Amino acid sequence: VRDVATGRSRGSRGDGTAHRRWKEKTLEILAEIQAPLSLLMLRLCNWALLKLLNRLFLGVQLHRGQLEMVLRAARTPNMPLVFLSTHKSHLDGLLLTFLLFSQGLGVPRVTVGSQACSPRLRALLARLGAIFLPSRMEQAPSDQEEGLLGAVLATYVEEVLRSRQPLLIFLEEPPLALRLSAPAQQWLAMVYRAVRDGVVPDVLLVPVGIAYDVIP
């Protein structure tokens, strides 16, 4: 149907509006997943974390054998790294990010599970490399919205792997142990699909972990 006064097609105008609406929804979902990294905030948090570690622990020991394994994996050309770790404390993400960053391995994208975060804490963690599942995935979305959420998430993980940004996936959520969490299953499934669909030829799965004499 054509608008006589303007000579423009109403159908095409409606398609343009729908396209703009879907684009806005996509950007909104992406903003929930990640935020731009802040190097200044990373440096400030590294300084603050060192102060915190000195107060919480008598000492921090780095396992040289595991570090050499991680560095050797990082030297593999054209291969994205996916670090897998158990999750014993809410400090794990900050500690592992600090250690990997200090060894010149870049800032990993760190998956955060479904534990509750205040909006301010969520915003801070996102600027430090944390990535989140969209909150609407836990609220029984409609089939159409669920399809869009899944597509944006899958594309995001594909881009992380394709650009060879390190990805850190926690396999569980404290205080549960030895039990694969639902968020971990979702992140791992997307990594598997990216390899299966040929987005990347392969990934290196590298186990890392932190052990505590006393969990803080």
Q: What is the mean pLDDT of residues 130-153?
A: 75
Using the CB atoms, write b or e for 30-61: b if 16+ within 10 Å. Answer: eebbbbeebeeebeebeeebeeebeeeeeeee
pLDDT at 190 over 90: yes
pLDDT at 174 over 80: no
The phi, psi pair for 131, rounded to 5°, reads: -125, 145
> What tens digit of pLDDT does each residue of 36-66 get?
888 888 888 888 888 887 887 777 777 777 8
> What are the angstrom distances between the C-alpha of 102 and each of 48, 85, 107, 113, 206?
14, 18, 9, 24, 18
CATH topology of domain 63-208: Cobalt-precorrin-4 Transmethylase; domain 1 (3.40.1010)
Q: What is the gyration radius of the CA atoms in the chain, in angstroms?
A: 21
Q: Which residue has the higher pLDDT, 211 or 125?
A: 125
- Which helix (H) or strand (E) covers residue 44, if one does? helix 39-56
Delimit the domains of the chain by residue range. 63-208
The predicted pLDDT at position 142 comes to: 63
> What tens digit of pLDDT does each residue of 4-19 get?
344 445 555 666 787 7
Whole-number Å distance between alpha carbons of 91 and 53? 10
